Structure 1
Amino acid sequence: MFAKAIASFMMLASCAFGAPGKNVQIGAPHELVSNPSGQKVTSSEAFTSGAGNRDNSNIYDGTGNAGTDQYNCYYGGWENFPPKSEWIEFDAMWNYSKSAMSTSCSDLGIGSCSNGAGAFGSGDSGQQIGMIWNAIQQVAESSLVDHRFILATILQESSGCVNVCATTNPDPSQPDNPGLMQSDGGSTFVGNSASNSAQQTSITQMVIDGTQGTADGDGLVQCINQYGNVYETQAARCYNSGSVDSSDLNNGEGATNSYVNDIANRLTGWLYSNSNFDNC
């Protein structure tokens, strides 16, 4: 799950889409997860101030608007980042993201993963985008992770490209980071030529891998349960880095410094405008 950052790319009249990705974790994974598909949020605090959600069927949650497409700078600990009450509604976040997902694979660069391409096939088709919706809603319902947090992580990790290349771990004893959420040793997309049912199963599995964890490492659920009482921020840092500097969430500890800022901005409406993190 600790994939190196994919290069940022330009979209729609030279608007920069935020750079997704994580850095590879060196060493053992944070936590080995048994029975991943049965994992769910159990932290009571996560349902009041964190990324837990018992009603993901409500797609009109949040502020009731699409937020503002701008990048804001946040510093320090969790108390300085936007609380859950400031997240935009899932429906608006999803509809705003669909056009970005439709060009995500081509924008990453299609070719051979071993030669440095960002995606191994074209995508996303309208059907594949619909399958991502299905997967997010299914996994959110079973895991009790807020669907907005799952979507923000998908956009951050792969821009929503189903054919995204896995990140190769430089330590051959450790798993690579594949799929929509660049999970820890999870699954890669079955491919565009597979049947619709096989594609849906594959996409859902990629979301399970990143949300509920794999046999090789933790997902959003495990990070939320550990840091559930402090909004989404420490859970996001946990997912990206495997460890958390609670006094400075912009400290990637070898992973992506901007990761928590990026996630916080995605949850409040940022998508196309330039990231200002280097100037934060």
Structure 2
Amino acid sequence: MIAGAVDTSHRQHPLHERSTDLYAALLGGNGKITDGWPSIDQWADSLETMFENNKGTISVSCAEWGLPNNSEDETQFIKDAIYQAEKSSGVDARFILSIVMQESKGCVRVQTTNNGVANPGLMQSHEGFGSCNDNGLVQNPCPRSEILQMILDGVEGTPAGPGLKALIAQEGGTADVTSYYKAARAYNSGAVASSGNLGQGGATHCYVSDVANRLMGWTDGPSLCAPHSIGQLSAAHWDSDSSAGHTERNGTSTTTTARIFAQTHGSSSSSLSAPSTPIVQSSVAWTSARVSHSSTSLACRRKGN
């Protein structure tokens, strides 16, 4: 339990009591729990729970790229590798899984992306060594050793760039949950923006909000994060079920949040599907956009900066 947690009585119930497709909060600002970001006790209660809830997504994750889906053994190897990486690095296994899901949805044969730096494997690591899809050379089955290497590349880092372990330490260490959120930003884009706002900077603006929601139990339901406006929020705003009529600690009401997004959402990116789904009742409706996985991670990767 991390000291300094804010009152969370208005928020969603624990993971096992709520739908796993629920995107619970728009998480804007700097990642501090005093600004409404989730404390560690609001994360999924264990890797076992979190992994079980993501199994359905993992099992069909490769089909998006026209590749053979994971076998049951390959999926089990991912969990085993995450536990092994947690033991060797001290990085929370739940955080590792959240990055895996954000980067590849758990597809062991995910392709390598390259925007100036090669990002292979389950965690799209910085010039990592592990891959079961090396320039189109697909391994099926994907060996246990290769899956472990993919996870270690992302967690322990590579000679070319840091992994989660070094980035968490760089941002202050595991005693403060904010360090995890900052590390996620740095893992995706190379650095935290000078403003400290985790919805700003390069690469995928919704990355950290998505990762934090995954840690709280979100799996594969609609993302409520609009990439071109999340950076304008200075604090977290929880969904209508948990915060309707609630005024946030910074004095911004959920109705105001709705108005902000109505004014800034604009036209949808070509990579988004945009069902018009209001999530709060207000005089100004705003829409949520489901971001396709390929646009949230594989198509928007760090460039080694």
Answer whether TM exceeds 0.5 for this pair: yes
State the partner residue of 2:219.
271
Q: Is the 1:66–1:92 contact (alpha carbons within 8 Å) kept by the matching residues of 2?
A: no
Mapping of 1:1-280 within 5 angstroms? 48=2, 65=16, 67-68=18-19, 69-71=21-23, 72-79=25-32, 80=35, 81-89=37-45, 90-106=47-63, 108-110=64-66, 121-169=67-115, 171=116, 175-186=117-128, 187-189=130-132, 191-193=138-140, 199-227=143-171, 228=173, 229=176, 230-245=178-193, 247-251=196-200, 253-278=201-226, 279=261
Per-residue Cα deviation, 1:85-137 (whole angstroms, up to 9, x for no partner): 1101222111011111110000x222xxxxxxxxxx31211010011011011
Aligned identity (percent) is 38
Conservation of the 8 A alpha-carbon contact between 2:132 and 2:146: yes
Distance in structure 2 (CA, Å) of the matches to 1:66 and 1:213 = 35
The answer on whether the counterparts of 1:179 and 1:206 sit within 8 Å (CA) in structure 2 is: yes
- Of structures 1 and 2, the one with the larger relative CO (CA 8 A, separation 6+) is 1
**What is residue 264 of structure 2 aligned with on the other side?**
none
TM-score (norm 1): 0.67
Q: 1:66 touches 1:88 (CA, 8 Å); kept in 2?
A: no
| Structure 1 unaligned residues grouped into runs of 5+ | 1-46, 50-62, 111-120
Which of 1 and 2 has greater Rg? 2
TM-score normalised to structure 2 length: 0.62
- Distance verdict in 2 for CA 1:91–1:142, change over 3 Å: same
SS at match of 2:126: coil
- Name the amino acid aligned to 1:185: E
In 1: Cα distance, 2:15 partner to 2:179 partner: 19
Structure 2 unaligned regions, length at least 5? 4-13, 227-260, 262-287, 289-305
* 8 A Cα contact 2:15 2:216, kept in partner: no
Q: Distance in 1 between matches of 2:17 and 2:179?
A: 20
Counting matched residue pairs gives 202
Q: Deviations over 1:2-32 (max 9, x none)?
A: xxxxxxxxxxxxxxxxxxxxxxxxxxxxxxx
